């Protein structure tokens, strides 16, 4: 069975600080996808990134960066120079098997990390 | 770009009543997923459909049913509503069969339908 753990329930930082959100996953599948979604106070789920299990390259997109390490089953998310607009709940998610079959699979979410960025 | 459309956005019902939520996927998306998110919780998978057939089932109560229609929109029917059904219900869509190089496609979520049961 697949499982995603986000041990940090809530993080508070002051604007311009860097912050890292941790994500650890469990899966028996060798082919899987990892995702991060953002849920701002307005409630919608916004896709941030997808990573497949064969691509361990780190990725940077503006102030966002992701560090995927299969050896530790982790997919951590770092926000550099945080801003108030980054305040949201961030979910890490996992889907299994889709890469191999070419079919889309459901997502299993972690419990989320609430990030509060203050001035 | 067109997104996933959910209606209604807000719904208030009494206990034991029935509610129907609708979801219109992104054009050309053939797979629809339903998720339930209780207050302060993560989204929980309920059910999914690919090409109008149920493709996967999660923790969907027997009081709930869903289907995907010929135009690919989906409806989630909830009967005998309970207080614990109060939640944000998300619909997501994706391409069910992507190219092998892209594999499982990204789920795009709608804005959600907030159900309150009194």
Contact (CB<8Å) A104/B98: yes
Contact (CB<8Å) B103/A99: yes
- Greater pLDDT, B98 or B69: B69
Element (H, E) at A99: helix A98-101
**DSSP for B46-76, written as a single string:** EEEEETTEEEEE-S--TTEEEEE-TTS-EEE
* Percent of chain A as helix, strand, coil, to the nearest 5: 10, 50, 40
Query: Could you tell me which of B106, B45, B59, B89 has the C-alpha nearest to residue A43?
Result: B89
End-to-end CA distance of chain A: 41
Query: CB of B98 within 8 Å of any CB in chain A?
Result: yes
Contact (CB<8Å) B106/A112: no
pLDDT score recorded for residue A57: 81
| pLDDT, one tens digit for every residue, chain A (119 residues) | 789 999 999 999 999 999 999 999 999 888 888 999 999 999 999 999 988 888 888 888 899 999 999 999 999 999 999 999 999 999 999 987 655 555 557 889 999 999 999 99
Q: Are B109 and A45 in contact (CB under 8 A)?
A: yes
pLDDT averaged over chain B? 91
φ, ψ at A65 (rounded to 5°) = -145, 155
């Amino acid at each position: 069975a697949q499982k995603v753990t986000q041990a940090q329930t809530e993080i508070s930082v002051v604007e311009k600080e860097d912050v890292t959100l941790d994500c650890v996953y469990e899966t028996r599948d060798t082919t899987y996808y990892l995702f991060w979604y953002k849920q701002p106070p307005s409630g919608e789920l916004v896709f941030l990134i997808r990573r497949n299990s064969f691509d361990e390259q780190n990725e940077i997109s503006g102030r966002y960066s992701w560090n995927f390490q299969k050896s530790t089953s982790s997919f951590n998310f770092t926000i550099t120079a945080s801003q108030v607009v980054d305040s949201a709940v961030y979910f890490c998610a996992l889907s299994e098997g889709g890469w191999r079959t070419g079919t889309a699979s459901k997502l299993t979410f972690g419990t989320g990390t609430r990030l509060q960025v203050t001035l | 770009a067109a997104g996933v459309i959910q209606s209604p956005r807000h719904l208030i019902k009494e206990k034991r009543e029935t509610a129907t939520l609708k979801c219109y996927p992104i054009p050309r998306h053939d797979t629809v997923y339903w998720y339930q998110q209780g207050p302060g919780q993560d989204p929980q998978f309920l059910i999914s459909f690919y090409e109008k057939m149920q493709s996967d089932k999660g923790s969907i109560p027997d009081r709930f049913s869903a289907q995907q229609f010929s135009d690919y929109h989906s409806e989630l029917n909830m009967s005998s509503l309970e207080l614990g059904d109060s939640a944000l219900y998300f619909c997501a869509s994706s391409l069910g069969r992507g190219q092998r190089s892209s594999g499982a496609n990204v789920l795009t979520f709608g804005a959600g339908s907030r159900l309150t049961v009194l």
